[in-house]
Amino acid sequence: MKAQLPSGLVGQGTISMIPNAALALFLLLAGFTPERALGQDQATVVVEENIRAEPQGVIIGRAVVGSVIQVRRVDGNWMEVDLQGWVWSQSLEATDRSGFDLSVSASPSENLRDGPQGSIVARLLQGALVERLEETPGWTRVRRTAWIWGPSLNRDDRGGQATLAVGSGASRDPAEEGRWRSGARGAPILTGPDGDTLAHGLPDTEVQVLARRGNWIRVRLEGWVWAPAGEETDEAAPNVISSAGPDEVMQTPEAYRGQVVSWELQFVSMEEAERIRTDFYEGEPFLLTRASSGDRAFVYVAVPPERLSEVQGLIPLERIGVVGRIRTGAAALTGSPILDLLELTRRMPD
């Protein structure tokens, strides 16, 4: 379905509506095809973006706006990139993990530069694994193959609704409570604090503020989309899977990533994610639950800030019905499935 976008977004592509969001637009890159090789083409970072070990995988750093990165290939909306640069040698330590010989020891991160004392290309998080290429007094040139969300490289065809980064020249409009206006350079809109980029607000775009968390705000952007009757796609209403339970998802996690499931679960407790849980952003609220049948595997249910009131009254061991989108079928830390909450129903006791 081709559509015109709200004036606050730039881009083009296929739009699918995500349930329970005021305006959730997801734009597929025009011309991107799975596994399309690009050799060693260059791409410029247009929005500061996560660097991941694999698509939707563990975050190992952040790419800096304006950096030029070598692209190895494209897989859907993800780009595999070849990161090379110089790191202060004292911020590295020897390792033999996963075929790499160095890891970043500086906390919380260290700069990757285009030369000794050169311009910053990216920031690598503590623990990021890299390959040693060469050394000079005080500096080490390193390499790492990683993945970056494609719409944040070389182009502006992105769309969606999530968290807006307060920065990039952005400013709040004090004249109206609960509103916020981007600055002269616009601002990226992310899936969450330190999440991937969904859209880029044009300069002077005004949005409604829903919640604040430190230097981040969660926003709502409303607009109109051209959608003539009869042109809706199957993506408008996601297919909800009820036949595959947590145990099956854990066995083949990649097969279910992004799918919407309906599960009967038993509430255990309300938690906030620690930094070690790399599948969440730090402090993200989630429900610790377990499956009500089978071998009673644990399931984590991430709760958006605006829906926290719906889960505050849950009682330990209470049975709940959850419809959620699978963020990952096997969390990096525990191997348990993680769902993004779409719907929650409290079950009456037997």
What pLDDT, on the 0 to 100 scale, is given for residue 90?
Answer: 93
- Considering only the C-alpha atoms of the chain, give the largest distance between any 2 of them, rounded to a whole number of Å: 71
Q: What is the pLDDT of residues 72-98, one digit of tens each?
A: 988 888 889 999 999 999 999 999 988
**CA separation for the pair 88, 202 (Å, rounded):** 37
Structural domains of the chain, with CATH: 1-27+157-236 (no CATH), 36-151 (no CATH), 238-346 (2.40.50.140)
Q: What is the pLDDT of residues 286-301, one digit of tens each?
A: 999 998 776 678 999 9
How far does CA 216 lie from the centroid of its chain? 15
pTM for the whole thing?
Answer: 0.42
**pLDDT band per the 50, 70, 90 thresholds, residue 173:** very low
Q: What is the pLDDT of residues 7-44, one digit of tens each?
A: 444 433 333 333 333 333 333 333 333 444 444 588 88
3-state secondary structure of 253: helix
DSSP E strand boundaries for 78-176:
78-88, 92-94, 102-104, 109-113, 120-125, 129-136, 139-149, 163-165
**pLDDT band per the 50, 70, 90 thresholds, residue 169:** very low
- Residues 6 or more apart whose CB falls under 8 angstroms from that of 204 comprise 181, 182, 183, 184
Beta carbons of 322 and 265 less than 8 angstroms apart: yes
